[in-house]
Amino acid sequence: MNLSVEIDPGSGFCNGVVRAVRQAEEYLSREKRLYSLGAIVHNSLELERLKAKGLEILELEDVRRLHNETLLIRAHGEPPATYALAEANGIRIIDCTCPVVLQLQQKVKEVYQGMKDSAGQVVIFGKRGHAEVNGLVGQTEGTALVIGSLEEVERIDPARLVALFSQTTKDPDEYAQICRAVEQRCNHTVVFDTICRQVASRHKSLVAFARTHSIILFVSGKESSNGKVLFDLCLSENPRSRWLEDASQIDPSWFLEGDTVGVCGATSTPKWQLEETAAKVSSLFC
């Protein structure tokens, strides 16, 4: 069968994830073990690679029992309570919070402090329970309202002053819809543009990539929030989009003569996995 395969040049780890993985690898080149609070990246194969080097994933309850060890804070960031717990337990922190997320945390805290006396409401558009969102809510002493869809805008009290933020990895177009709906509902709304520029530009380039290939192979862990957003974007532009976690899931029946195959992925998908997927397709047909 004659077909061509191309890897999306904009796919792969975002800068925040690259930084976290590099710091983990650097530490593990000197030490046998490193703890990470939560998965450093939402990708099972990449996690297995790092676990083989000595990375151990912990949940918050595990950290409560941890003392005098080293703990990596992943790119998603953490609320202030986590840092207080680490200090109380003598835990050394390797802080890999993405600079974009860290800047957003600081802005949320600043706005929240300025609104307390006026009974304002911080509203965050994001995935409830996501690590980044938890870190943002923590900047407001747990008082921020999290909304995950257009339908949930009605949960906002229209009489209060609203400061609206977004999780950094959300769909820019969806956030724009949320902003318009909140502004229509509420008398006083201040909107903050907090979607990561790298993520926003990836959305635009991925639309073009999906449109210019006859079939899309989207590689990502199923637990990746960003992966779901980007796959849904591909699917909306190209109905022959397939979501797979690794190259072993490729089905030869997906392909047609003359297909132009586009391989892309989430901000949690390593380049080596995209290359592996492209090579698998090439070995089957080219």
3-state secondary structure 171-231: CHHHHHHHHHHHHHHCCCEEECCCCCHHHHHHHHHHHHHHHCCCEEEEECCCCCHHHHHHH
Whether the CB-CB separation of 254 and 216 falls below 8 Å is answered with no
38 and 108 fall within a common domain: no
More confident residue, 184 or 204: 184
- Identify whether residues 162 and 215 lie together within a single domain: no
Say how far apart CA 267 and CA 219 lie, in whole Å. Answer: 10
Which pLDDT belongs to residue 26? Answer: 97
Structure tokens of 14?
């975002």
- Residues facing 35 on adjacent strands: 56, 71
**For position 286, what pLDDT does the model report?**
63
Please state the rounded mean pLDDT for residues 57-76.
96
Same domain, 160 and 240: no
- The number of folded domains in the chain is 3
Does one domain contain both 131 and 211? no
Residue, of 105 and 224, whose pLDDT is higher: 105
Query: What's the Cα-to-Cα distance from 136 to each of 125, 165, 185, 230, 246, rounded to whole Å?
Result: 11, 10, 23, 22, 32
Q: Produce one character per residue of 227-254: b if its CB has 16 or more CB atoms within 10 Å, e if not.
A: bebbbebbbebbebbbbbbebeebeeee
Q: With 90 as the cut, is the pLDDT of residue 87 above it? A: yes
pLDDT in tens, 126-173: 999 999 999 999 999 999 999 999 999 999 999 999 999 999 989 899
Sheet of 260-265, strands arranged across? 4-7, 260-265, 215-219, 241-244
Instruction: State whether 224 and 149 are in the same domain.
Output: no
| Same domain assignment for residues 186 and 216 | no
Closest CA to 218 of 172, 266, 184: 266
State whether 149 and 128 are in the same domain. yes
Residue after which a domain boundary falls, among 82, 98, 114: 98
% of the chain residues with pLDDT over 70: 100
Domain C-terminal end among 98, 119, 138: 98
Domain containing 22 equals: 15-98
The pLDDT value recorded for residue 204 is: 87
> For residue 79, what pLDDT band results from cuts at 50, 70 and 90?
very high
Report the number of secondary-structure helices (H) and strands (E) in the chain. Answer: 10, 12
CATH number for the domain spanning 239: value is 3.40.1010.20
Among residues 200, 217, 211, 201, the alpha carbon closest in space to that of 269 is found at 217
Domain co-membership, 178 together with 210: no
Write down the catalytic residue from 132, 223, 245, 275. Answer: 132
Mean pLDDT over residues 233-238, rounded? 96
According to the model, what pLDDT value does residue 14 have?
A: 86
Q: Tell me phi and psi for residue 258, to 5 degrees.
A: 80, 5
Domain identity same for 170 and 204? no
Whether residues 190 and 105 fall in one domain:
yes
Look up 132 and say whether it is catalytic.
yes
For residue 186, the one-letter residue type is C
**pLDDT score for 42:** 86
Structure tokens at 120: 């304002």
pLDDT score for 222: 86
Percent share of the chain, pLDDT over 90: 83
Which of 195, 222, 257 corresponds to the end of one domain? 195
- The domain that holds 73 is classified in CATH as 3.40.50.11270
Residue pLDDT, tens place only, 187-225: 899 999 999 988 888 888 999 999 999 999 999 988 888
Do 143 and 164 share a domain, yes or no?
yes
pTM of the model: 0.85
**Section 103-111 average pLDDT:** 97
pLDDT of 1: 75
Where is pLDDT greater, at 44 or 185? Answer: 185
